[in-house]
Structure 1
Amino acid sequence: MALGKGLRLPSITPTRLVLLFSLALVALYNLATWKVLGTLITLQGVQKLAFFASFGLFLWAAITLLLTLISFRWTLKPALTLVALLSACAAYFMNEYGITIDTVMIQNVFETNPGEATALFSGKLLAYVLLLGVLPAVLIWRWPVVYRPFFRGLLNKVLVIAACVLVIGASVGAFYSTYAPIFREEDKLTHFINPTNYIYAISKYTKQRLGIKKHFVVQAIGEDAVMSAKAAGREKKSLMVFVVGETARADHFSLNGYERETNPELSKLDILNFTQVHSCGTSTAVSVPCMFSMFPREDYSDKKGKTYEGLLDILQRAGVQVLWLDNNSDCKGTCLRVPNRDIAKNQPGPFCDGNNCLDEALLADLQGYIDSLKGNAIIVLHADGSHGPEYYERYPKDMERFKPICHTNQLGSCSRDELVNVYDNTILYTDHFLAKVIELLKRNQEHLDTSMLYVSDHGESLGENGLYLHAAPYALAPQAQTHVPMVMWFGNNTLAQLGIDRGCLQGKGSQPDLSHDNLFHSVLGLFEVRTSLYQPGLDIFHGCRPAMTAGQ
């Protein structure tokens, strides 16, 4: 069966083409599904083989049913081509990085900037696209398809769908006790099934976006927010630098007991370290807007994040000067109503190369802005941190302390030591960057009450159990993706000026139930912003200072 100019493939019906393509999807594009399935069942020997055969039939029938719905003359080949290309990409990322594909992952795809997307390109991805995407697409378009008259074709489709339903029923019925627990906890398997995982996720994401766009009115919150009379009248104003970290996992901070010295500079500074903090999500698209939202993780949704004001809006309304500086993808909607700017990748200086900037670029000319401040202020620095998979681009070469390193975005091709080494170098640079932030604040502590708050948006998997990067479904995510570092620093007399007992605050360093949920209320508390939204029970500083109540 050649594709040469003088040779033709035999004609085929739409049904047979769909059956063959579905079979290829089951056998070639679902290796991750088969791998996960093997971990979810306890059957052995012949029973295990029989169940796998049953699942193969089930999957084949389910995909055939789905594709039969679009197997009309004008839709069949374009649709199969698109499925082949998308399924090739999905297979690559699931096989190589161990990721699952759900609505959050699709959101990450659509909200990823070109620089982040480029970092994921590789020769292996190209091979997947060519072999599992382009080659099948060429075959599909070269294969002559014989279509029945419309009503006969429609009847045939009804019969095929009925047959698929029977096969699905028979497959599941034969092993119902095994299928039931697998699909009851759907995150464990369905997010791996290619192509239904991304088809469902894209449709759900699209529905969410259309719903938000249709009703897109940003609801004001905290309209009663005011600065306390004491804070407003204080001659020495407050300046907080809030550093939003990227992809840092708490268990790779030596401050938290990691055996390697990844925090040599912070360990010499008078910082407060919080060891048991958990993130709101496992991706930037979720965690960043969530940490600035009034909603706790259990009640947060992307729609709420986009249709309600957040912490920065309230601070600005209360008279706090706000600035967001970004060296990451973007602020995910958090900074849209406050002054903000991205770091120019082509700015002169030692920290940018035209494509990427090291995080120290965030501090360029920041002193001039601080000199212009007239009142209380917060500066948010959205750092690039430990953003993967090209970890080796996140730090200067003179900070490559741990060697040898993984020098590719093909993380599975690196040894465990190489991957951990290059990741730990990013943590080492984050330590250096935060020390630079503190150095800047120290230079201004005589005329401002200065403070720094650093917390990562989420963690990262480094190959444990075959899982790389992040964005796993939260309920199934390993601790590596949800346990994040958090560090605070305060200038001379800042805590005393604010009436906060340092010893009390230090005692909360190992408090086990801290999370991104605390940030909204803690920052409001630190700036002494009075609003009915404030919940003292979620304010880390509450109990270490005179009680703050709404309207006081």
Structure 2
Amino acid sequence: MVEGRKRRLPQISSTRLVLGFSLALVLFYNLATWKALDGLVPLQGLYGTAFFASFGLFLWAAFSLLLTLVSFRLTLKPALSVVALCSAAAAYFMNTYGIAIDTVMVQNVFETNPGEATALFSGRLLVYLLLLGVLPAALVWFLPVVYRPFFRGLLEKVLVILGCLLVVAVSAGCFYSTYAPIFREEDKLTHFINPTNYIYAIGKFAKQSMGIRENLVVQPIGQDAVMNLKAQQRNRKSLMILVVGETARADHFSLNGYPRETNPQLKQLDILNFARVHSCGTSTAVSVPCMFSMFPREDYSDRKGKTYEGLLDVLQRAGVQVLWLDNNSDCKGTCLRVPNRDIPKTQPGPFCDGRRCLDEALLQDLQAYIDGLDGHALIVLHADGSHGPEYYERYPKAMERFTPVCRTNQLGSCSREELVNVYDNTILYTDHFLARVIELLQRNQDRLDTSMLYVSDHGESLGENGLFLHAAPYSIAPEAQTHVPMVMWFGTRTLADQGIDRGCLQGQAEAAELSHDNLFHSLLGLFQVRTGVYQPGLDIFHSCRPQMSAGQ
């Protein structure tokens, strides 16, 4: 018995460990890759079987090549342990939510807050981390690995790398006509290949972040910004509340034809509903700074978002009082140079429980702030909206109209009915919250030209084609993640005082194809701010001001 305890595990060479670990990655960590590949290449018969076998060899050789580069005495075991743990987590999120991993997804991970992160924890995640992360890492550390003398080992590594390159070339060459279109549309497959997807994305994100930090000089824009004389001299000042929504998809708004009544309060109010609006991105980290940027979606980048001023800076420079209130993760850099504050989660009242707040907490004490205004003002409310996966936490129990509901972050374990019900309850609460915002503005419309604009940052997938949540690469993102709701409301005198024709604006709401690109210029136009960065063609209100001159 004592001898049995002392018996050591069989020795293994560093090369064999790399080859075996790479095979495990292909077989156990890439279910999402095989699923995506099957959707791209639905091959059958002998040719299909041979192709899928060649793809397995392709991945095995590619992984082996990469890991051979770190297969030295001091680096091999730490590298394999990190890859096992990270790949286990990546496999969990791809298999559970159908997400792809790219630079934007990595940015979301690094910019998330503890509340959002803990919402994703689950027993299933723990199982993934234990079985595919901790156990393989422990085995790697317990295995006695044999390393060859340096120069002999180096020669062996060169031969392994050459062999891997040969396998990759033969695998791809024999089925070139099938491989070529797959990798030409790389977003549809490479973002699922584990671990190269997150290794590449982390490297790219780190490079971008280092470049931004090294040159973090925020370039001013709109330094010539000034409110036109007529707007400055108006006795009635303008007050707009801009509600930046979260994860609301347009096709679940009954205002847009959804058969279930999810907007019972808004439909009773004199609102303008814009049915054809698309987001700048599929995640908060992209969409929020992008919608406040002067750059259109096609020209926007995270670097530009962090190194150029945005809409709030220009409005503040022109004399508009700006306040940002946040009930979400944060403003993603958008509000850094204007007055801003997070809603304290521990504040007393019916809307906070010490961990999170319902969106109505954004309205507490807001009337006192409005009473102190002495000029034109913009208040931005960054709402929690329909943030997943714990949708059931986003609305009060009293508003749980659609039942049964999904009460877990394991969305795939819920029925389609439960998932849609709980999500629709979040939209119903957003409808209630927006009605409360309008009530607040109505109480102030005798003194101020009040208005509200609501637009969501992006949409959400609810299990369609096995995809949940959001943040899919924009080029392949479903309409559910990019088609967002937008609603406007105006006080009784606001449009007339600004010379805006409501009938014209109604036509825009019904027919115009709009996007987040319009927000920057439309708010400059609404506050009648003159500046060289203003583009009237992107201002929703410009064509509806018949008396406005070309110079605004």
- What is the TM-score when the length of structure 1 is the normalising length? 0.98
Alpha-carbon distance between aligned partners in 2 of 1:5 and 1:77, rounded to the nearest angstrom: 24
Structure 1: gaps of 5 or more residues: none
Secondary structure at the aligned position of 1:116 is classed as: helix
**Residue 308 of structure 2 is aligned to residue 308 of structure 1:** yes
Instruction: Map residues 312-327 of structure 1 onto 2, 5 A cutoff.
Output: 312-327=312-327
Query: Any conservation in 2 of the 1:531–1:551 contact (CA below 8 Å)?
Result: no
Counterpart for residue 421 of structure 1: 421
Contact kept, 8 Å, 1:532 with 1:551, in 2: the verdict is no
CA distance, structure 1, for counterparts of residue 151 and residue 349 of structure 2: 69
**Are the counterparts in 2 of residues 284 and 457 from structure 1 also a CA contact under 8 Å?**
yes
Question: Structure 2 CA distance, aligned partners of 1:28 and 1:264?
Answer: 48
For the 8 Å contact 1:327–1:384, the answer to whether it is kept is yes
1:547 Cα deviation (Å)? 5.9
Aligned AA for 2:61? A
Q: Does the 8 Å CA contact 1:534/1:550 hold for their aligned counterparts?
A: no
- Secondary structure of the structure 2 residue equivalent to 1:126: helix
**Does the aligned pair in 1 maintain the 2:248–2:460 contact within 8 Å?**
yes
Q: CA deviation at 1:511?
A: 2.5
Distance in 1 of aligned mates of 2:5 and 2:107: 43
Secondary structure of 1:274 counterpart: strand
Q: Does 1:138 align with 2:138?
A: yes
**1:54-133 pair list within 5 angstroms:** 54-133=54-133
Query: Alpha-carbon deviations, 1:142-196, whole Å to 9, x = none?
Result: 0001111111111111010000000000000110000000000100100000000
Matches of residues 294-373 of structure 1 in structure 2 within 5 Å? 294-373=294-373
What does residue range 524-543 of structure 1 map to in structure 2 within 5 Å? 524-543=524-543
Which residue number in structure 2 is paired with residue 187 of structure 1? 187
- For residues 442 and 102 of structure 1, the distance between their equivalents in structure 2, rounded to whole angstroms, comes to 44
Determine if contact 1:518/1:540 at 8 Å carries over to the other structure.
yes
Which stretches of structure 1, 4 residues or longer, exceed 6 Å deviation after superposition?
none
Distance in 1, Cα, partners of 2:6 & 2:528: 80
Spell out, residue by residue over 1:376-417, the C-alpha distance to the aligned partner (whole angstroms, 9 max, x if none): 000000000000000000000000000000000000000000
Per the alignment, residue 219 of structure 1 pairs with: 219
Q: Residue 542 of structure 1 aligns to which amino acid in structure 2?
A: H
Q: 1:316, CA displacement in angstroms? A: 0.2
Q: Bigger CA drift: 540-549 or 353-362?
A: 540-549
Q: Which residue of 1 aligns with 2:451?
A: 451
User: What RMSD in Å do the two structures reach over aligned CA positions?
Assistant: 1.0
Residue in 2 that maps onto 1:163: 163
Paired AA for residue 295 in structure 2:
F
Measured against aligned partners, the alpha-carbon deviations of 1:225-250 in whole angstroms (never above 9, x if no partner) come to 00000000001100000000000000
The amino acid that maps onto 1:474 is: Y
Tell me by how many angstroms 1:5 deviates.
5.0
Counterparts of 1:202-213 in structure 2, within 5 Å, are 202-213=202-213
Cα separation, 1, equivalents of 2:194 and 2:483:
30
SS in 1 for 2:146: coil
Distance in 2 of aligned mates of 1:48 and 1:529 = 61
Partner SS state of residue 152, structure 2: helix
Q: Which residue of 2 aligns with 1:250?
A: 250
- 2:235 alignment partner, SS class: coil
Contact in 2 for aligned 1:530/1:550 (Cα 8 Å): no
Write the distance in 1 (CA, Å) between the matches of 2:25 and 2:342.
Answer: 42
Q: Which amino acid is 2:215 matched to?
A: H
Q: Which amino acid aligns with 1:206?
A: A
What are the Cα deviations for residues 2-38 of structure 1, in whole angstroms up to 9, with x where unaligned? Answer: xx95342111111100001000000000000001111
- Report what 1:513 is aligned to: 513
Structure 1 residues 238-293: Cα deviation after superposition (integer angstroms, max 9, x where no partner): 00000000000000000000000000000000000000000000000000000000
Aligned to 2:395: 395
Q: Give, in angstroms, the shift of residue 42 of structure 1.
A: 4.2
List gaps (5 residues or longer) in structure 2: none
Please state if 1:437 is matched with 2:437: yes
Deviation at 1:418, TM superposition (A): 0.2
How far residue 551 of structure 1 moved from its aligned partner, in angstroms, is: 5.6
Deviation, structure 1 residue 512: 4.1
Amino acid in the other structure paired with 1:374: D
- Assess, with a 3 A threshold, how the Cα gap between structure 1 residues 528 and 44 changes in structure 2: closer, same or farther: same
Alignment partner of 2:420: what SS?
Answer: helix
Asked if structure 1 preserves the Cα contact closer than 8 Å seen for 2:499 and 2:547, the reply is no
Give the CA deviation at 1:550: 7.4
Q: Distance in 1 between matches of 2:152 and 2:550?
A: 71
Distance 1:488 1:13 in 2: 67
Counterpart of 1:147? 147
The CA distance in 1 between the partners of 2:172 and 2:550, in whole Å, is: 57
- Alignment match, 1:50: 50
1:307 and 1:221 mapped to 2: Cα distance?
A: 11
Determine helix, strand or coil for the equivalent of 2:444: coil
Task: Check the 8 A contact 1:536/1:548 in 2, yes or no.
Answer: no
Deviation at 1:549, TM superposition (A): 5.9
Aligned to 1:435, what secondary structure does the other structure show? helix
How far did 1:546 drift?
3.8
1:363–1:7 distance in 2 versus 1, CA, 3 Å: farther
Structure 1 residue 43, shift from structure 2 partner: 2.7
Q: Which amino acid aligns with 1:200?
A: Y
* Residue 273 of structure 2 is aligned to residue 281 of structure 1: no
Identity among equivalent pairs (%): 80
